[in-house]
Amino acid sequence: MTVRNAKHATFTIERVYPASPARVFAAWSNKEAKTAWAYCHPEWPVSDHVFDFREGGREHLVTGPAGGTRHVFDAVFHDIVPDQRIVYAYDMHLDERRISVSLATIEFFAVAGGTRLVLTEQGAFLDGYDDIAGREEGTRIGLDNLDRQQRQQRAA
Partner 1 sequence: MLNYQAPLDLAFQALADPTRRIMVERLSQGPASVSELAQPLDMTLSAVVQHLAVLEASGLVRSQKVGRVRTCRIEPTALHSAERWISERRASWERRLDRLGTFLVETDPTAKPRRRK
- Binding positions for partner 1, rule: CB under 8 A: 3, 5, 7, 9, 11, 13, 15, 17-19, 23-24, 27, 33, 36-40, 99-100, 117, 119, 121, 123, 125-130, 132, 135-136, 139, 142-143, 146, 150
Cα pseudo-dihedral 19, 15, 59, 128, rounded to 10: 170
Question: Which residue, 10, 7, 8, is CA-closest to 104?
Answer: 10
Give the residue with the Cβ less far from partner 1, 38 or 111.
38
CA distance 75 to 12: 19
CB of 154 to partner 1, least distance (A): 12
Per-residue CA distances from 36 to 33, 67, 68, 103 (Å): 5, 23, 23, 22
CB of 128 to partner 1, least distance (A): 3
CB of 48 to partner 1, least distance (A): 20
